[in-house]
Amino acid sequence: KAGVTQTPRYLIKTRGQQVTLSCSPISGHRSVSWYQQTPGQGLQFLFEYFSETQRNKGNFPGRFSGRQFSNSRSEMNVSTLELGDSALYLCASSPAPSKEGYGYTFGSGTRLTVV
Amino acid sequence: QKEVEQNSGPLSVPEGAIASLNCTYSDRVSQSFFWYRQYSGKSPELIMSIYSNGDKEDGRFTAQLNKASQYVSLLIRDSQPSDSATYLCAVTWRAGSYQLTFGKGTKLSVIP
C-alpha cells in the first residue's frame, strides 16, 4: 500500500516568489493536513482538508493557502515568500477528520529553502 | 491557547533500560493522544495512540494517560540504540477546531 507522497522533495526559491507543494494521501484517506516544521517552533499546524473543504486553519498569514481535489490530493501554496518560510513542510493523511480521533500518516516532506 | 509541553531533553538512557517520556497538555477538552517517533532527517511516524485513562501496551511500548492530571507518558522497555530519536506527543482537542497539536518533542539517546 503506497504511503503519503509529497512532491517535490526539495525546493529553493527566491524571496518574493511563490511556491506550490503537492500531496497525494494514502488510497482511501480523505483527510489531509499540512504542517510546517522548523527547529525552533516544532510542528506547526497549517490547515486540514476533508472532502475538498477546509476544516481547520492554523495561525499563519493569508500568504499560506491550500486546496483539496475530488481525488483527495492536496496542494498548498505560499505566495510572496519570505526567508522565514524556509522549513520542512509535511503533509499527513487520515481516513477521517481529526475530530474522529484517527492518527495521521506523514509523507516525507518538502524541504523549502528561501534565499 | 491549547498547548502541549514536553521536556526537550536530551534524555540519555543505557541500552536495556526503561526510557520514560512525559507530556502535559493545557486543556481538559482533549480527546485523543498520540506518540510519534521522528528519526533525524525523517518524517514523524505514529507509534502509539491512547484515548482513555490508564495504560496501553504495544510490544516494548506502553502509553499512560491521566486526564485528571493532564499528562500522557510513553515508556520504552528494553531500550535499544535504534530507539534513539525525537519523540513527539500530540493531542486532539474535543472542541473548537479539533486540530492535532504537537509538542516540540523529547530527544532520546540510548547509549550502547
Judged by average pLDDT, the poorest of A4-18, A36-50, A98-112, B41-55 is A98-112
Please give the Cα distance from B56 to A91 (Å, whole number). 27
pLDDT given at position B92: 87
- Provide mean pLDDT across the span A71-88: 97
pLDDT given at position B15: 98
Q: Percent of chain A having pLDDT more than 70?
A: 98
- Provide mean pLDDT across the span A28-44: 94
Q: Percent of chain B having pLDDT more than 70?
A: 93
Asked if residue A97 has pLDDT above 70, the reply is yes
Please give the Cα distance from A49 to A32 (Å, whole number). 5
Asked if residue B96 has pLDDT above 70, the reply is no
pLDDT given at position B29: 76
B80 to chain A nearest CA, in Å? 24
Among B47, B86, B100, the strongest candidate for a mutation testing the A interface, having the largest count of A CBs within 10 A, is B100
* β-pair partners for A48: A33, A56
Q: Are A106 and B49 in contact (CB < 8 Å)?
A: no
Question: What is the residue whose three cell numbers read 477546509?
Answer: A54
Asked if residue A21 has pLDDT above 90, the reply is yes
Residue B93 in grid coordinates: 482537542
Contacts for A55-59 with beta carbons within 8 Å, 24 or more apart? Answer: A55/A31, A55/A97, A55/A98, A55/B97, A55/B98, A56/A98, A56/B97, A56/B98, A56/B99, A57/B97, A58/B99
pLDDT given at position A90: 98
A17 to chain B nearest CA, in Å? 26
Nearest CA in chain B to A48: B99
Note whether B49 contacts A: Cβ–Cβ < 8 A.
yes
A81 to chain B nearest CA, in Å? 23
Output the average pLDDT for chain A. 94
pLDDT given at position B30: 73
Interface A-B, measured as beta-carbon pairs within 8 A, has a size of 54
Q: pLDDT digits over B21-70, tens only? A: 999 998 767 778 999 999 999 999 999 999 999 999 999 999 999 999 99
